[in-house]
Structure 1
Amino acid sequence: MLYSKIPAAQKRAAFRRSLDSGKLLRIPGAFNPLSANLIQQKGFEGVYISGAVIAADLGLPDIGLTTLTEVANRGGQISRMTDLPTLIDADTGFGEPMNVARTVQTLEDAGVAGLHIEDQVNPKRCGHLDGTAIADSDTAVKRIRAATDARRDPNLLVMARTDIRAVEGLSAAVDRAKELVDAGADAIFPEAMKDLSEFEAMRGAIDVPLLANMTEFGKSELLTNEQLANVGVNIVIYPVSLLRLAMGAAERGLDTLVAEGSLNSEVANMQTRARLYELNDYAGYNTFDESVFNFSL
């Protein structure tokens, strides 16, 4: 009922232990707190909070238009509802080193277990779009150093994302990843990797946890959990998948309403009222309410 009873510090410590386990952590993206509840109930190991999804939810393209306040607000809304660790997309840190430091502390206060900072220039854009511009090595390193220096909880995972693969190739991505690890990054997120062999090459080059982004309609081949685990990937995210599934169903439903004049034919595809109430723990709230308001004379 209400929010998770597990403090953020405990979630961060648990996230660190999970990364040390050697098992692949499956972390789907939640587009709101309700979908985070569903991810937890289905037995996944974490919840991802995507910047692209936050932008889309606001009706905006993923081109650096969202603010730290908007991202931290959604991060807090989701993190407080789930017992799972949350990993959030912090874009470029919303500025340069001092801004990055403030971003880290703001997101730490929001209750996330980890965040990633990328090496694009400001304003950033979706890593699977063409025309991505990459920051120089000095700028990228300073962002990660600022992030690690700013955190107050040493278990907060500071992950470095590099988008250089799509611009300068795999070799440049490997070199940038090594620089970011040397700068203090706890983990590496190489964006827009082409196939399994590239993840394998990255795994061989670094000795910190490695993330694979299995986003649909992008530059990367969609690989299975088994394939990723076999080459030593530690985390796999599905950042926009639930939003795409939900919006696909919503669009089909609206088309049906236009074509048929009712949603009778779609009712069987809808989440039932009972299932919605179960996800939102109506029974728990009802029990609490009765214990507070029941009285006898």
Structure 2
Amino acid sequence: MTTRCERLKALFARRDAAVMPGAPNALFARVAEDLGFESAYVTGAGIANMHLGVPDIGLVTLSELADHVQAMAEAVNVPLLVDGDTGFGNPINTARTVRIIERAGGAGLQLEDQVFPKKCGHFSGKGVIPLSEMVHKIRAAVDARVDGNFQIVARTDAIAVEGFEAALDRAHAFIEAGADVTFVEAPVNAEQMTRIARELPVPQIVNVVHGGKTPPLPRAKLAEMGFATALYANAALQAALRAVTEVLGSLRDHGSLQEVGGRLASFEERQRAVAKDKFDALEIRYS
């Protein structure tokens, strides 16, 4: 049996635009696994939105992130790629972040070159740190991992700050520093996307954000371009937000769930999603 890190590495190596859904908590990770997805993305924006009720502007702490990763890794068997934001500091902090996330059960860590506090990749007003500083962070991350298959994903947000060519140059430098995968965030058209997947020699991630800057091309087209993974970081969160707003709005207006009963998971579905039958079996075994 292969490890989670080995499975994530193999998934990237296929370069078939494998769809990777984002999960802000263990329940959503379970749903993704139940639906047959091969991996899940621990979304920093999702944790900020769902756990703290704040925007994705760098407010999640390393300890909060690690707690979520540990809970999710215990709940599912699929490999987890973890959004590590800026590494929570300088190269030394970044090395510690790698060790903590690897121990928590992550199979890979995404690091980005934004200034701290960072912002969502599809927000305006971003800034990036000097290239040399990011290169040192990547080297520190590579040196810090215990399992050589733990994936170091290096993201650049430089398109919006320094332009597309500068972003490609940064990604090449990240690869030379040891990044296993690179992630050029927020390309604005298909031409840029094609060049990212063709010109960078390691596997590439494309982030498909509903309402974001990157064209929402279908998986077949992304695979044809050569992307390794199509990331849908917050699709589940956005769906849940719309659903809970509509259901609670109806409950407020009607005083019952009769108007929206068909939109609710059944009691049985809810228990199946959290594997209650397995805990029932344990209770019987040890009673």
Report if TM-score (shorter chain) is over 0.5: yes
Deviation at 1:195?
2.3
Structure 2's unaligned 5+ residue stretches are none
- From 160, 177, 185, give the equivalent of 2:179: 185
Higher relative contact order (CA 8 A, sep 6+): 2
Asked whether the equivalents of residues 198 and 225 of structure 2 are also in contact (C-alpha less than 8 Å), the reply is: no
1:90-239 → structure 2 map (5 Å cutoff) = 90-239=84-233
Tell me the residue number matched to 2:46: 53
1:251 aligns with 2:241: no
SS at match of 2:111: strand
Asked whether the equivalents of residues 196 and 227 of structure 1 are also in contact (C-alpha less than 8 Å), the reply is: no
Distance 1:18 1:50 in 2: 19
1:81 aligns with 2:75: yes
CA-atom RMSD in angstroms: 1.3
Tell me the residue number matched to 2:19: 26
Distance 1:244 1:124 in 2: 21
Distance 1:79 1:237 in 2: 19
Distance 1:206 1:119 in 2: 17
Deviation at 1:132?
0.2
Distance 2:132 2:147 in 1: 25
Deviation at 1:24?
2.6
Q: Specify the code of the residue in structure 1 equivalent to 2:195.
A: A
Q: TM-score, normalised by structure 1?
A: 0.93
Distance 2:135 2:62 in 1: 21
Distance 1:65 1:42 in 2: 31
Deviation by residue 1:90-135 (Cα, 9 ceiling, x = unmatched)? 0000000100000000000111011111001111111111110111
Q: Specify the code of the residue in structure 1 equivalent to 2:25.
A: N
Aligned residues: 286
Tell me the residue number matched to 2:28: 35
Deviation at 1:204?
2.0
SS at match of 1:264: coil
SS at match of 2:154: strand
SS at match of 2:67: helix
Structure 1's unaligned 5+ residue stretches are 1-5
Distance 1:221 1:283 in 2: 42
Deviation by residue 1:151-180 (Cα, 9 ceiling, x = unmatched)? 111010000000001122211111111011
Q: TM-score, normalised by structure 2?
A: 0.96
SS at match of 1:48: strand
Q: Specify the code of the residue in structure 1 equivalent to 2:274.
A: N
Asked whether the equivalents of residues 178 and 205 of structure 1 are also in contact (C-alpha less than 8 Å), the reply is: no
Distance 2:11 2:259 in 1: 44
Distance 1:280 1:261 in 2: 28
